[in-house]
Structure 1
Amino acid sequence: MKPIDVQVTSDFICPWCWIGHRKLQQAIRDSELSVQPRLVYQPYELNPQMPQGGLDRKAYRTAKFGSWARSQAMDAEVAQVGQSVGADFHYERVLITPNTRQAHRLMQFAQKHGDAQQVDVLYESIFFAYFSLGEDIGQIETLTRLAHQAGLDSSVARSFLESEEELDALIARELQAHSEGIASVPTFRINGTQVSGAQPAHVLAAVLSA
């Protein structure tokens, strides 16, 4: 059988993207497909104008949501939902809201030079590094280490990130997402059917099995 194509459009500072990915993985397991789906990860920067070094998260979130207390309440809600899918959020460790372009570029590199398992491991590890460990995923040093841990050639990955190689292609993919009407993340496109948000696993499983 031909594998199902699943396009995952997300951003690494979006907690619901991590939760949604965990639900997608559960849906794939529940569907018991004879052939594993072919996942393609598409970039979507929620904050494309974020400074390269990121911003202090408390200051950024306070300005965005009106108060730090409101931000903390939202974080607590996310952390509770995350527990249900095994996504471990430790917001007390997250000090920076990073620029995610380099993280997306690393995924671009992995999908070109790595195998499916390495790509999936890297995708998951970037979320874990940020939300669980509080690491700055906008830094090349952090991303290079994650590439190595995923089994990729870290020296080649670093050289790629330090260059502007395929940067135009990344921007073009983001513009394509907007042109296709994707206005929020996560968005899953499963064999052409678009599903927005971190939907329950059974919803995604139904689309996978359709």
Structure 2
Amino acid sequence: MQRLVIDLVSDVVCPWCYLGKARLELAIAEVQDEVSVDINWRPYRLNPDYPPEGVDQQAELAKKLGGKENMDRAHAQLTELGKEVGIAFDFDAIRVGPNTMDAHRLIHWAGTESREAQEMVVSSLFKANFEQGLNVGDPAVLLDIAAAAGLDRKVIEQLLKSDADRDLILSEIDAAQQMGVNGVPFFIIDQKYAVSGAQPAQVLANAFREIAAEKAEEQRKLN
């Protein structure tokens, strides 16, 4: 069985990233008997200028999308798409638009423990923001998520109080932008292929099969 590694560039306040994650999981389930897929979560910040305490989400997003009507229309579309993959978007519950630097630091630290821990943290961050209306820029929320994923709460608390790995997160985002990533989600497969946007599960599954077949053919030629 061929093994593919996906570097998934995303932000935890990006609804299309949450949708893309759910669709990716469906695609992986579809090809699980044919292709093995590992995921590394990579950072991106949609709102790098937001202050540490965050902003009024409803006001800022309406401004960004050109008015409340546009915002409501986009949310209605996403809510319907979410239902198809088991996501219960609750956009009205999101009061704070957070700065996601600390969330990305937490994802990175979880990744140093295991892919499983990182996956748990990422899932919890998306759910906290989009389904529970929690502020994922709040250290208390981040600590609860870290502890639930099996990370050492006291260690994470000390790390959050420090500047640990801020430069690393910024350099990863810069590297992604240098590669041409200007929107998320963005899937980099085996550091060779790129898929942009929250593609349908079937599109991703087919891409995985094609890439795996190509890898198998390359290996056959080498032997």
**TMscore range, shorter length:** over 0.9
Query: Amino acid of the residue matched to residue 135 of structure 2?
Result: D
Three-state SS of the structure 2 residue aligned to 1:4 is: strand
For residues 128 and 58 of structure 1, the distance between their equivalents in structure 2, rounded to whole angstroms, comes to 18
Change (3 A) 1:35 1:208: closer
Contact 2:102 2:160 (C-alpha < 8 Å) held by counterparts: yes
For residues 6 and 130 of structure 1, the distance between their equivalents in structure 2, rounded to whole angstroms, comes to 24
Structure 1, gaps ≥5 residues long = none
Give the ranges of 4+ consecutive aligned residues of structure 1 lying more than 4 Å apart after TM superposition: none
Q: Which has the larger radius of gyration?
A: 2
Instruction: State the partner residue of 2:74.
Output: 74
How big is the shift at 1:33? 4.0
Instruction: State the partner residue of 1:27.
Output: 27
Three-state SS of the structure 2 residue aligned to 1:8 is: strand
For residues 100 and 197 of structure 2, the distance between their equivalents in structure 1, rounded to whole angstroms, comes to 20
Contact 1:190 1:207 (C-alpha < 8 Å) held by counterparts: no
Instruction: State the partner residue of 1:137.
Output: 136
Query: Amino acid of the residue matched to residue 15 of structure 2?
Result: P
Identify which range, 62-71 or 195-204, moves more after superposition: 62-71
Deviations 1:86-135 (A, max 9, x none): 111011211111111110110011111x2222211111110000000000
How big is the shift at 1:150? 1.2
How big is the shift at 1:190? 1.4
Query: Amino acid of the residue matched to residue 82 of structure 2?
Result: G
Does 1:93 pair with 2:109?
A: no
Identical amino acids, percent of aligned pairs: 33
Contact 2:40 2:115 (C-alpha < 8 Å) held by counterparts: no
For residues 177 and 76 of structure 1, the distance between their equivalents in structure 2, rounded to whole angstroms, comes to 30
Does 1:5 pair with 2:2?
A: no
How big is the shift at 1:3? 2.6
| Alignment TM-score, normalising by the size of structure 1 | 0.95
Deviations 1:131-173 (A, max 9, x none): 0000000011100100111111121112111111121111110
User: What's the C-alpha RMSD, in Å, of the aligned pairs?
Assistant: 1.3
Instruction: State the partner residue of 1:41.
Output: 41
Instruction: State the partner residue of 1:51.
Output: 51
How big is the shift at 1:36? 3.3
Structure 2, gaps ≥5 residues long = 211-223
Contact 2:2 2:34 (C-alpha < 8 Å) held by counterparts: no
Three-state SS of the structure 2 residue aligned to 1:203 is: helix
Three-state SS of the structure 2 residue aligned to 1:37 is: strand
Deviations 1:20-47 (A, max 9, x none): 0111111111012456322111100011
| Alignment TM-score, normalising by the size of structure 2 | 0.90
